[in-house]
Chain A
Amino acid sequence: MDSVDNKSAFRIPHSALIRWLLKPAVFLAGLGPVAWLIWAALTNNLSANPLEDLTHETGVWTLRFLCVTLSITPLRRLTGWNALIRFRRMTGLFAFFYGSLHVLIYAIADRYAGLDLTNGYVTPSVFRELVKSVGEDIYKRPYITVGFTAFTLLVPLALTSTAGMIRRLGGKRWNQLHRLVYVSAILGVVHYWWLVKADIRRPLAYGIVVGALLIFRVWWSRLRTAVTWKKSPDPVRRSV
């Protein structure tokens, strides 16, 4: 019997609470948007241009999950609730999930639907044409170039998100690699910004959030350097 159980018979260990309650709850919440989009699409509940809605919504949700992921470290620092770190992989993978849906829907609704399909819908040549069409679009249109780069940067991060990969890479290298998420988030905002015609208020809002979350990191690391430097002559105090 450990000490936790001695204090109160009803007390659930913190770790178990996260694992069996909070994490599943966050997971379900993360599936909420896609569940809603599927339901809305099937029940004719989107706008007159549902494919555009699906493209936009999945894109916006990618940005939202990136913002949530980027806010975990600052929240941890500010609140001292270190257990938050246990949600970061999940929210990051949700960003990747919505980003993948976004790219997939774009490829189908924007590129595939624009191909000449008179000789069949699924043929090797249609596939080649699709790849070519996506490639051309990435090359031709800056906002697609930037958006696709933002997504591509998330791929290695998703692939190295497992515990095994963290071990294999080593904490320091893994951390360095995963700083790519900063670039991805910035490019994501630029992609959104370049896409809107005139009303930049929403991309601006995401820009402010991402900017603040990145500035926090700079500020925090400077603060820490300053504190360490100040206290370094006296190692006893530092441990206080």
Chain B
Amino acid sequence: MLIKQASDIRSSEITDKKVYLNRREFIRAAAITGAAAGLLGAEALAPVSAAAKGAPHGRKLATIKKGFALNAPDKVNAWEDITSYNNYYEFGSDKSDPAEMARNFKTEPWTVTIDGECNKKGVMNLEDVLKGETLEERVYRHRCVEAWSMIIPWVGFPLANFIKRCEPTSKAKYVEFYTLYDPKQMPGTRVPVLRWPYVEGLRMDEAMHPLTILVAGLYDEVLPNQDGAPLRLAVPWKYGFKHIKSIVKVRFVERQPLNTWQQQAPDEYGFYANVNPGVDHPRWSQNTERRIGEFLRRKTVMFNGYGDQVASLYTGLDLRRNY
């Protein structure tokens, strides 16, 4: 089998988009006809209407460093997959909701508050967060705790760079992240489905790891709203829910943060959330995963295949207990 590098594939993917856009128009028309026929429930139509609208896109990012050594060699998922199938509960709990509900989400102006055990507390504009950073393409495997996965060409920069600029003190053992909580813009947060705002956390060494990035783009473009614009996390050896979206606050803390999903169901979601086929979620097996776009399931790999890079972070830690 010919293994393509992501950079080889992308141009063809972009060509595909126009085809997809036409298809969407067709789908929308079809969906309307279907609705008129009155045979279908609104639920059944939801995925169609969301896909039909799509995301505003075309805002290219300038100068992106390419050729990251650890880019996933597999076929990269299409823009449409990555932007229409999202878990972003602030915009609704169906996968198709965020694409629809986040369309008018305001990401400008955007500020990030820096707080806790560090010397550079304060509020930063997004431009200042990005200033001086070289944006780099990172084609990562993305594994959701729900046992599906995608290959995603993120654009971002190491979180470590940002953390260094914050000058954490010796008391900073963990980093805590907060998603924006704005019921006016985020209809999902008007219902107490989860504890808002969404909180995630990393141990300091995980946060400083070169694979951990702050993401500002996707497919060389500005990150779409439904994917966590304007700034989200990517920690590729952890389940998707650790990849907190639309970050407005970073806090350095001494104690292990209580992340939202752990707070929601502690026996199902832990703090570490490392991809681990050996530890099943109580409701579904983590042994295999469905790569979006494929029929046969793939075997899930320990640390999502990033074991060589990150296993050493967890020597001596019982990963069965610290799931």
In the assembled complex, the CB of B29 is this many whole angstroms from the nearest CB of chain A, namely 11
The answer for the CA separation of A48 and B291 in the assembled complex, in Å, is 10
Residues 215-254 of B, flagged 1 when their CB comes within 8 A of A and 0 if not, give 0000000000000000000000000000000000000000
Candidate in A44, A53, A198 with the most chain B CB atoms within 10 angstroms: A198
A-side contacts of B110, CB under 8 Å: none
Give the nearest-CB partner of B260 in chain A: A198
A-side contacts of B283, CB under 8 Å: 141-143, 194-195
Classify chain A's interface size.
Answer: 20 to 34
By the criterion CB–CB under 8 Å, are B295 and A57 in contact? no
Segment from A32-40, A75-83, A92-100 that makes contact with B? A32-40
Contacting A33 at CB < 8 Å: which of B44, B84, B148?
B44
The answer for the CA separation of A143 and B283 in the assembled complex, in Å, is 7
By the criterion CB–CB under 8 Å, are A57 and B84 in contact? no
Instruction: Tell me, yes or no, whether B296 is within 8 Å of chain A by CB.
Output: yes
Instruction: Tell me, yes or no, whether A45 is within 8 Å of chain B by CB.
Output: yes
A56-75 contacts to B, CB under 8 A, are 57, 60, 64
In the assembled complex, the CB of B108 is this many whole angstroms from the nearest CB of chain A, namely 28
The answer for the CA separation of A46 and B280 in the assembled complex, in Å, is 28
In the assembled complex, the CB of A67 is this many whole angstroms from the nearest CB of chain B, namely 12
In the assembled complex, the CB of A101 is this many whole angstroms from the nearest CB of chain B, namely 14
Instruction: Tell me, yes or no, whether B193 is within 8 Å of chain A by CB.
Output: yes
Give the nearest-CB partner of B148 in chain A: A49
Classify chain B's interface size.
Answer: 35 or more
By the criterion CB–CB under 8 Å, are B40 and A44 in contact? no
B-side contacts of A51, CB under 8 Å: 290, 295
By the criterion CB–CB under 8 Å, are A48 and B292 in contact? yes
In the assembled complex, the CB of A44 is this many whole angstroms from the nearest CB of chain B, namely 7
By the criterion CB–CB under 8 Å, are B193 and A48 in contact? no
B95-116 contacts to A, CB under 8 A, are 95-96
In the assembled complex, the CB of B133 is this many whole angstroms from the nearest CB of chain A, namely 30
In the assembled complex, the CB of B297 is this many whole angstroms from the nearest CB of chain A, namely 4
User: With A36-B34, A36-B44 in contact, do A48 and B89 touch (Cβ < 8 Å)?
Assistant: no
The answer for the CA separation of A95 and B258 in the assembled complex, in Å, is 42
Residues 94-120 of A, flagged 1 when their CB comes within 8 A of B and 0 if not, give 000000000000000100011001000
Instruction: Tell me, yes or no, whether B39 is within 8 Å of chain A by CB.
Output: yes
B-side contacts of A117, CB under 8 Å: 296
By the criterion CB–CB under 8 Å, are B193 and A32 in contact? no
Instruction: Tell me, yes or no, whether A199 is within 8 Å of chain B by CB.
Output: yes
By the criterion CB–CB under 8 Å, are B80 and A113 in contact? no
The answer for the CA separation of A194 and B171 in the assembled complex, in Å, is 40
In the assembled complex, the CB of B93 is this many whole angstroms from the nearest CB of chain A, namely 4
Give the nearest-CB partner of B46 in chain A: A47
B-side contacts of A5, CB under 8 Å: none
The answer for the CA separation of A212 and B245 in the assembled complex, in Å, is 40
Residues 191-226 of B, flagged 1 when their CB comes within 8 A of A and 0 if not, give 101100000000000000000000000000000000
The 6 residue pairs across chains A and B that have the minimum distance between CB atoms: A199-B93, A48-B85, A32-B39, A48-B81, A114-B297, A47-B47
Besides A51-B290, A113-B297, A197-B146, 15 new A-B residue pairs in contact (Cβ under 8 A), listed by A number? A33-B44, A36-B34, A45-B31, A47-B47, A47-B96, A49-B292, A51-B295, A60-B43, A64-B41, A113-B290, A114-B285, A137-B285, A140-B285, A141-B283, A198-B194
